[in-house]
A and B are shown apart, each in its own frame.
Chain A
Amino acid sequence: MRLQWKLTVASLKMFTRQKEAIVWTMLLPLFMVFLFGFVSFEGMEKIQFGVSGAENEPAARLVGRLGEVRTVQVNRGAESAELEQLEAGKRHLVLVLPQGFDPAGKQELRVLVNDGTPEETQMGLLILRKVLDDATFGVQSAPDRIPMAIQSVASRRSSYIDFLLPGVLSLAIMQSGIFGVAFGFVSLRKRGVLRRLSVTPMKPQDFIAAQVAMRLIVLLAQIVVLVGVGILFFDLQFMGRLLDLFAMGLLGGAVFLAIGFFLAGIARTEDQVVPLANVVSLPMMLLSGVFFSRANLPEPVRVVTEFFPLTYLADGMRSIVLEGSTLPALWLQLVGLGLWSILSVWAAVRVFRWE
């Protein structure tokens, strides 16, 4: 144990004295958060309507018209379910249609609005008013407006940064696992350091254990730094527990470290490592929902990306940060990452070579 501890401490020293390593593991993810955090993509978001209640023919026609508006997305559901979504910040407005809805009937419509997103809510109400007026024009010559009862609902404000930060955090975990290990190990091998170590009685697994321990400590530091900066500078709404984030991060880290060792096993030189690592990491970086929701991907692509390890990690981290999920609720992500870690450790053990 003493040896592993000494080796881990020495590895941490080497790591923290390496400027490039700090840039890659800490500053680059922070830079991404700053860049994407300040360039707000919220304007591109659609106004999310929840619709519940009557499902008769006039109601269907109204919902159809609402859905035709380009900036609106309609989601139908039970009132309680839609209210929940509203509170979770996933709807801007929820429209409750009375039973037997009739545009000529002047029944009062209840509209629940998200008080955390005034702009979208305001825009949504204007659109709704217009659609309702159009509907009544169609059936009345001298229309009376359908009255709306607007009710404000406190919701968790969910901004792009809340979406982005757990994604970037997952990306940073992936990058330092894959690139850090693969590049570092091939370089140690090429410079003859591993050869020098192999004339000592140290066992290779002691050294690997220390490398893994060092990387996992750095990973925990990445989580603390990114979440800390998010809370301090970006008003991140951190709903979950840090411990859950640590556990999810460590499991994801295990997968990506093993992938790093796998790549170190198949690459001969540093020049081969970088393209190999890119082949593995780039598709995940772009398609695993780090920067943008995977919901917008074409269906076949979306289905495939479902099974990426980074997707499991990013979804899990995001669910902890945004929704305060605890580990049992994230069993799908845990199982996914668990299977990936078994697969990647198996592959790494098969191809790994010390020299």
Chain B
Amino acid sequence: MFQTGVSVSPVILAVNNLCKRYGELVAVDRVSFSVHRQEIFGILGPNGAGKTSTLEMIETLRPIDAGTVILDGLDVSSHPRQVQQRIGVQLQSASFFEKLNLKELLLLLGELYGRVVDPMELLSEVDLQDRAKAQVEQLSGGQQQRFSIAASLVNDPLLVFLDEPTTGLDPQARRHLWGVIRRIRSEGKTVVLTTHYMEEAEELCDRVAIMDRGRIVADAPPRTLIGDLLASGFKKERVERLANLEDVFLHLTGHALQED
């Protein structure tokens, strides 16, 4: 396991006092954080906390109202094209062209970056090599999310942004996706993801920023956050069972990746 945490690896993404307003609503309120190379960084928070807005400003999808985002040394608002070459993006509820199969879609997406990609290699990266001729609509939910990740890798990005990649997936599909995300990181990429699943953040992320009502309220490795909480004298009213229902489910249906 790769423990970066508060590590020595260089900062690849620096967000400083980022703001976004929609009329009266302040969706993102002076958000600052840094992500280090090869980290899996999670932005955790309830719906409407401003996670997606934050991500979309970093991804060049939304104009930045105030603050700066420096990605691989480039200012996002003044160099959007260079930033787009360096990042891979998976969007919530975005879809792909109909009537093209997975292989054709990856080839076409590669062309948009001026690259000739090897679609089979990308598909095997996310365990979809058998579905190369299928169309996106024919895939299961977990497969669609994995394809979406493969699509975000066509430009061999330094940084991959995944917006709620496991929302709506069953536990096995979720675990499968975690495996894929770890594999991507082990190849030297940095991953920034949003989630509202606590166990996902704890299990997968080297570091998490907890967002609430547009602000970051904590930013540390999950174990540090839990340790700090316990050190402050916190006690759960009911002691956690040693296993939960999800463990039972996974135990009965098999830990192996049986999604397909």
Which of B16-24, B35-43, B90-98, B245-253 is near enough to bind chain A? B90-98
In the docked arrangement, what's the CA distance between A73 and B100, Å?
Answer: 58
Contacts of B87 in A (CB 8 A): 199
Contact with B along A1-33 (1 / 0, CB 8 A): 011001100100110011000000000000000
Residue of A nearest to B114 (CB): A3
In the docked arrangement, what's the CA distance between A198 and B97, Å?
Answer: 14
Q: Would you call A10 and B108 a contact (CB within 8 A)?
A: yes
- Output the least CB separation between A134 and chain B (Å): 70
- Output the least CB separation between A191 and chain B (Å): 5
B144, CB-defined interface residue at 8 Å: no
In the docked arrangement, what's the CA distance between A320 and B89, Å?
Answer: 52
Q: Would you call A201 and B112 a contact (CB within 8 A)?
A: yes
Contacts of A332 in B (CB 8 A): none
- Output the least CB separation between B201 and chain A (Å): 24
Contacts of B108 in A (CB 8 A): 6-7, 10
> Helix, strand, loop or mixed for chain A's interface?
helix
Contacts of A14 in B (CB 8 A): 97-100
Determine the interface band of chain A, counting residues with CB < 8 A from chain B: 20 to 34
Contacts of B155 in A (CB 8 A): 200
A197, CB-defined interface residue at 8 Å: yes
Q: Would you call A192 and B91 a contact (CB within 8 A)?
A: yes
Q: Would you call A196 and B100 a contact (CB within 8 A)?
A: no
In the docked arrangement, what's the CA distance between A197 and B105, Å?
Answer: 12
Contacts of B33 in A (CB 8 A): none
- Output the least CB separation between B141 and chain A (Å): 16
Contacts of A195 in B (CB 8 A): 61, 91, 94
B197, CB-defined interface residue at 8 Å: no
In the docked arrangement, what's the CA distance between A199 and B89, Å?
Answer: 7
Q: How many residues of B contact A (CB 8 A)?
A: 25
Provided the pairs A195-B91, A199-B61, A200-B84 are in contact, do residues A10 and B97 lie with their beta carbons within 8 angstroms? Answer: yes
- Output the least CB separation between B64 and chain A (Å): 15
A193, CB-defined interface residue at 8 Å: yes
Contacts of A193 in B (CB 8 A): 94-97
Q: Which residues in window 187-221 of A have CB below 8 A to B?
A: 188, 191-193, 195-202
Q: Would you call B97 and A199 a contact (CB within 8 A)?
A: no
Q: Which residues in window 58-106 of B have CB below 8 A to A?
A: 59-61, 81, 84-85, 87, 89, 91, 93-100, 104
Contacts of A198 in B (CB 8 A): 61
Q: Would you call A196 and B91 a contact (CB within 8 A)?
A: yes
Contacts of B104 in A (CB 8 A): 10, 13
Provided the pairs A3-B112, A10-B108, A192-B91 are in contact, do residues A199 and B59 lie with their beta carbons within 8 angstroms? Answer: yes
Contacts of B118 in A (CB 8 A): none
Q: Would you call A191 and B95 a contact (CB within 8 A)?
A: yes
Provided the pairs A6-B108, A201-B81, A201-B84 are in contact, do residues A192 and B61 lie with their beta carbons within 8 angstroms? Answer: no
Residue of A nearest to B80 (CB): A201
Contacts of B95 in A (CB 8 A): 191-193, 196
Contacts of A191 in B (CB 8 A): 94-95
Q: Would you call B98 and A201 a contact (CB within 8 A)?
A: no
Provided the pairs A3-B111, A3-B114, A201-B113 are in contact, do residues A192 and B99 lie with their beta carbons within 8 angstroms? Answer: no
- Output the least CB separation between A7 and chain B (Å): 7
B12, CB-defined interface residue at 8 Å: no
- Output the least CB separation between A190 and chain B (Å): 10
- Output the least CB separation between B128 and chain A (Å): 18
In the docked arrangement, what's the CA distance between A272 and B155, Å?
Answer: 37
In the docked arrangement, what's the CA distance between A179 and B95, Å?
Answer: 22
Q: Can you name 27 A-B pairs with beta carbons within 8 Å?
A: A2-B111, A7-B111, A10-B97, A10-B100, A10-B108, A13-B99, A13-B104, A14-B98, A14-B99, A14-B100, A188-B97, A192-B94, A192-B95, A193-B95, A193-B96, A195-B61, A195-B91, A196-B96, A199-B61, A199-B89, A200-B84, A200-B113, A201-B81, A201-B85, A201-B112, A201-B113, A201-B114
Interface residues, chain B, CB within 8 Å of chain A? 59-61, 81, 84-85, 87, 89, 91, 93-100, 104, 108-109, 111-114, 155
Known: A10-B97, A199-B60, A201-B114. 11 other contacts (CB 8 A): A2-B111, A3-B111, A3-B112, A10-B100, A14-B99, A14-B100, A191-B94, A193-B96, A196-B89, A200-B84, A201-B85
Closest 8 CB pairs of A and B: A192-B94, A17-B99, A202-B112, A196-B94, A200-B112, A199-B89, A14-B99, A6-B111
